[in-house]
């Protein structure tokens, strides 16, 4: 079998190990706790109990992990949070970072 070029090897790595992105919600003083729980249920598909735990973690530690996704899905989640928060008059923010 012919030896694979570095390019072929790196393509193979990219296909088998696509980068993943962590999405976090950030704490602030104005967004209501109920709204954050609702975001975690509706956008991040958490149960009510999980959502409450994550919301309280953010409230105490300033940010909380909501999920790990491909780049496109993570970007969409961040946009959905920003839009829903803006529409409801809350300053809630989400961020994403490479895992």
Residues of this chain that bind ligand TYC (CB under 6 A)? 25-29, 31-33, 36, 55, 58-59, 92
Whole-number Å distance between alpha carbons of 14 and 52: 36
Tell me whether residue 58 or residue 78 sits nearer to ligand TYC (CB atom): 58
Give 59 or 84: the residue with its C-beta nearer to ligand TYC. 59
Please state the closest distance from residue 69 (CB atom) to ligand TYC, in A: 18
Any idea which residue has 């999405």 for tokens?
Answer: 23
Decide whether 21 or 94 has the Cβ nearer to ligand TYC: 94
- Measure the CA–CA gap between 45 and 47, rounded to whole angstroms: 7
For ligand TYC, the closer CB: 10 or 32? 32
Tokens 């780049």 found at? 71
Nearest-angstrom CA–CA distance, 84 and 88: 6
CB of 20 to ligand TYC, least distance (A): 22
Cβ at position 29, least distance to ligand TYC in Å = 6
Q: Please, what is the minimum distance in Å from the beta carbon of residue 82 to ligand TYC?
A: 13
CA angle 52–82–34, rounded 5-degree value: 25
Going by their DSSP bridges, the two strands 21-26 and 63-69 should be labelled as: antiparallel
């Amino acid at each position: 079998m012919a030896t694979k070029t570095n390019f072929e090897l790196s393509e193979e790595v990219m296909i088998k190990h696509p980068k993943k992105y962590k999405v976090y919600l950030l704490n602030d003083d104005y967004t209501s706790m109920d709204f954050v729980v609702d975001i975690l249920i509706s956008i991040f598909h958490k149960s009510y109990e999980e959502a409450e735990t994550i919301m309280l973690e953010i409230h105490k530690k300033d940010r909380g992990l909501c999920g790990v996704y491909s780049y496109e899905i993570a970007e969409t989640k961040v946009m959905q949070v920003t839009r829903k928060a803006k529409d409801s008059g809350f300053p809630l923010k989400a961020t994403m970072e490479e895992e």
